[in-house]
Amino acid sequence: MIPVRLIATGKAVPSQSVTSDSLDRQLGHPPGYTLRKSGVVSRFVAAPGESQSQLGAAALLDALKNAGLQPSDVDLLIGACGVPEQALPNTACFIALHAGLPPGTPAFDINASCLSFMAALRVAASMLADGGYRRIAIVSADLASRGVDWSEPESSMIFGDGAAAVIVERGDGKAGIVACKMATYPEGRRYCEIRGGGTERNPRNGSEPGDYLFHMDGKAVFRLAVKVMPAFLDQLMAESGAGLDRIDVVVPHQASPLGLAHAARILDVPDAKIIKIFETHGNQVAASLPSALHEAVITGRAVPGQRLLMMGTAAGLTIGGMILDL
């Protein structure tokens, strides 16, 4: 086990929310269409003046408040977003600014698309275990609304904006990562993507407006995930040395109703153990996992002594699972 203790979680959502009913009216769909297609009742959407890093900073300050800590108590900030605020510099620099971290606090990003939070938590545990840092903040913030393509019903309706943060310490060795596995299948690299924004497509070497929007082949994602996930989960459970009956709470990436249903089916755990915030938040990209974790914590469904399973899929295509003793 790699020791790590969640000191506190925090969350932030933008000031505006949009119901599927109102999306029906805006996009000219018949009543009930967006809800039926997406499974989302309402999602939060950033106003034009709201930035990704401001939202991330609000989540971090919420987590610090819940921990009874100050910004100066953070030794290292890891930004764990799916899409950056800008191509350069890394998003953590902007979050550090808005959260008022003392100048000089190190801040870098980890990116594993929708599983950035899981990768960052795995890294943070390692960096705490070797004594290099005492307390690490991980912040995931994403504004999917800035990149959805409304001409693609499947991908545009499921997303919502948001941010969440956790503060972690090494702890006393009782809490920690029992098992963690991530696996990347580059055959799925084009199943979910925003082609623009980097060195491949930009105004210098040729791009079109659609290159800056999110495109998804949901069926291809689902097919690949269904193929690789069962054996992957078996290996993860085997590494943990215990079965699914030992899992007290499941925090899945809130990808889609289909994805959540598939997770429930292959896990074979009671539905009440699975955290679901998809209906009220949509898929919040990398902010989904820590937002669902925060929900588990504040509703008392994830408490010290329990064993938690975090799992999901991400653009790449990457799949990941982590078993965490709280």
Q: Of 233, 288, 229, 226, which Cα lies nearest the Cα of 255?
A: 288
Q: Per rule CB under 8 A, is residue 272 in the interface with a copy of itself?
A: no
CA dist., res. 207 & res. 239, Å (int):
45
Of 30 and 103, nearer to a copy of itself (C-beta) is 103
267 binds a copy of itself (CB under 8 A): no
Tell whether residue 283 is a contact of a copy of itself (CB under 8 A).
Answer: no
Among 17, 69, 135, 197, binds a copy of itself (CB under 8 A): 197
Of the pair 161, 295, the CB lying nearest a copy of itself is at: 161
Q: How far is the CB of 72 from a copy of itself (least distance, A)?
A: 14
The residue whose two tokens read 């029906």 is 24
Distance, in Å, from the CA atom of 156 to the CA atom of 145, rounded to the nearest integer, reads 8
**Would you say 41 or 228 has its CB closer to a copy of itself?**
228
User: Would you say 30 or 203 has its CB closer to a copy of itself?
Assistant: 203
Is residue 162 a contact point for a copy of itself (CB under 8 A)? no
The verdict on 132 binding a copy of itself (CB under 8 A) reads yes
Q: Nearest CA to 250 among 296, 308, 294, 302?
A: 308
Tell me the backbone φ, ψ of residue 224, rounded to 5 degrees. -70, -40
* Number of residues forming the site for a copy of itself (CB under 8 A): 80
**Does 16 engage in binding with a copy of itself (CB under 8 A)?**
no
Instruction: Give dist(CA 189, CA 192) in Å, integer.
Output: 7
Task: Residue 157: name the closest of 252, 282, 47, 46 by CA.
Answer: 282
The first and second tokens of residue 112, run together, are 């594993």
Q: Does 326 bind a copy of itself (CB under 8 A)?
A: no
